Amino acid sequence: MYRENVQPIIDLLKRTIRKRPTGSDEDTHQVARLSQAILDYGRMFQHHYSSRAVIVKVPDLSNRFRETSGTILKALRLLEQIGHATPIDRRECWNLQLRPAEESDHRPAGV
């Protein structure tokens, strides 16, 4: 379940690393983990508020995950490349696209 959600991110990162030899593996994995954490945060928000749309702000995510705005933007751009996020205005607000299959993966067993 977890691997299925992260595999597209890992594949994209592998392609990116091959194109840009200057990026370190540690930084790449940090951005991938942060991207997954942002999606998990969006799912939590969606479940808690029963909302279909999840809009996040870069400064809020930066404070929540204790990362720089630049690192948050890298993670959001990665999510944008795989179709999980779109910028709304001036790179400050992003809309997360959480697919129905992903939502059902996080339901308790037997529900």
Tens of pLDDT, residue by residue, the chain (111 residues): 566 777 777 777 777 666 555 556 668 888 999 999 999 999 998 888 887 889 999 999 999 999 999 999 999 999 999 999 999 976 689 999 886 544 444 444 443
CATH number for the region 2-99 comes to 1.10.10.10
Q: Are 45 and 98 in contact (CB under 8 A)?
A: no
Half-sphere exposure of 69 (CA within 13 A, CB side): 7
Domain boundaries, the chain: 2-99
